[in-house]
Structure 1
Amino acid sequence: MKDPEEQAEETVRDAISAPDAEGRPRRATRRFPLFTKDTARPEGGGRAARGDAPAPARQWPILAVLGLVGLGLLLTALDVFRVGTLLIGIALVAGAVLRWVVPDVGMLAVRSRFTDIVTYAGLGLAIVLLAMMVQPHPLLQIPFLKDTLHFTVSS
């Protein structure tokens, strides 16, 4: 246990609050000082596998998503554009599903669970939809987009 002097040094005084009779700010906060010595552990900082497993086994969710994205990029580079970009979008959607279903996803967790799910799913769905609309011979045609393009370009 720390003695009170050491605890007082760790507590950062909020300079914005009104000072007390001695001129010190009344409200003490837990904000980090200007130069932090340590950072807080992220929400998903836990392991996806037990602690004695090797590092790749502990981080299987992020490795699975990155593996699919890498395969999609390779297919895109090998001139199989539609399949490659579809695979990239599907990998991001799979990352959203993993973030929702698996309690400890390791490094796949970046921010809060809600933010990660919305971000992964939103970007994944956007990439999938764009990959399906790629010319020539699109798999998905949205009628009002053609009219919107003609309206904005011809104006």
Structure 2
Amino acid sequence: MHEELEAAAAEAAEPDERRYPSTIGGAFYLLVLAVGGVGIAVVWGGDWRLGIRCLAAGLCFAALLRLVLPGRDAGMLAVRNRFLDAVVLGGLGAALFFLAQTIPNQPG
């Protein structure tokens, strides 16, 4: 009995080979970060409306992914429970898109 417990402890101590990212949600998280980076680059380049729309699209995509992916596969997209994460991400994306569409052009 004692030897079986030691063998089980030894197996548990050996780490499994890690894959990067370790979940599909982690890969999608990197994609959302890339879309956000592209949006910030576009804003920096001068077309702020297009850049903010790109950021909004990335957030809305992350909200959709959070709703679709199970908790164990969501990776870093999962912060709280599924519904709250999706509402926060989707709400921020919708608000950014709304503001980018409705802010009037400034003179000068």
Q: How would you bin the TM-score normalised by the shorter chain? A: 0.7 to 0.9
Deviations 1:87-121 (A, max 9, x none): 00111000000000111110111111011011001
Alignment of 1:106-145 (within 5 A): 106-136=75-105
* Contiguous gaps of at least 5 residues in structure 1: 1-50, 138-155
Report the aligned-residue RMSD.
1.9
1-side partners of 2:22 and 2:50: how far apart?
28
> Aligned residues: percent identity?
36
1-side partners of 2:22 and 2:51: how far apart?
26
**Alignment counterpart, residue 44 of structure 2, candidates 77, 90, 93:** 77
* Contiguous gaps of at least 5 residues in structure 2: 1-15
1-side partners of 2:17 and 2:33: how far apart?
23
Contact 1:82 1:134 in 2 (8 A): no
Q: Which has the larger radius of gyration?
A: 1
Partner of 2:33: 66
TM value normalised by structure 1: 0.52
Partner of 1:88: 55
Higher relative contact order (CA 8 A, sep 6+): 2
For residue 55 of structure 1, report the CA deviation from its aligned partner: 1.4
May I ask how many residue pairs the two structures share in their alignment?
87
For residue 54 of structure 1, report the CA deviation from its aligned partner: 2.8
Question: Counting helix residues as a fraction of each chain, which structure ranks higher?
Answer: 2
1-side partners of 2:22 and 2:54: how far apart?
23
- Relative to structure 1, the CA distance from residue 52 to residue 83 in structure 2 (aligned partners, 3 Å threshold; closer, same or farther) is farther
For residue 57 of structure 1, report the CA deviation from its aligned partner: 6.0
Partner of 2:7: none
Q: SS state of the match for residue 21, structure 2?
A: helix
Q: Which runs of 4+ in 1 moved over 4 A?
A: none
